[in-house]
């Protein structure tokens, strides 16, 4: 079953947040993350597979080119 992921660029990250760097993500999440941050999709909900969700779910934010807040629905 696929779920929706939303990425939102942020400027500030609280100290108690869990931040993962791109290179710490699972292979599935690394493969999808650049697609999810594409300017045309950045603020849209995008369906992704369970392997990608598992790789993103442990993070509140991902440091890629910027910091991105992760929301999984």
What mean pLDDT, rounded, does the chain reach? 83
β-pair type (19-21, 46-48):
unpaired
CA 14 from centre of chain: 17
Mean pLDDT of 28-44: 73
Mean pLDDT of 43-54: 72
| Number of neighbouring beta carbons within 10 Å of residue 20 | 19
Structure confidence at residue 12 (pLDDT): 93
Structure confidence at residue 72 (pLDDT): 81
34: which residues sit within 8 A by CB, 6+ positions away? 64
For residue 64, the enclosing domain spans 3-72
* 21: pLDDT strictly greater than 60: yes
The structural domain count of the chain equals: 1
Structure confidence at residue 71 (pLDDT): 86
> Comparing 3 with 28, which gets the higher pLDDT?
28
Q: How far apart are CA 56 and CA 30, in angstroms?
A: 9
Q: How far apart are CA 27 and CA 13, in angstroms?
A: 24
């Amino acid at each position: 079953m696929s779920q929706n992921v939303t990425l939102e660029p942020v400027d500030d990250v609280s100290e108690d947040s869990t931040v993962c760097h791109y290179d710490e993500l699972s292979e599935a999440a690394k493969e999808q993350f650049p697609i999810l941050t594409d300017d045309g999709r950045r603020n849209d909900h995008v369906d992704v597979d369970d392997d990608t969700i598992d790789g993103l779910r442990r993070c509140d934010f991902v440091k890629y080119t910027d910091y991105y807040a992760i929301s999984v629905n």
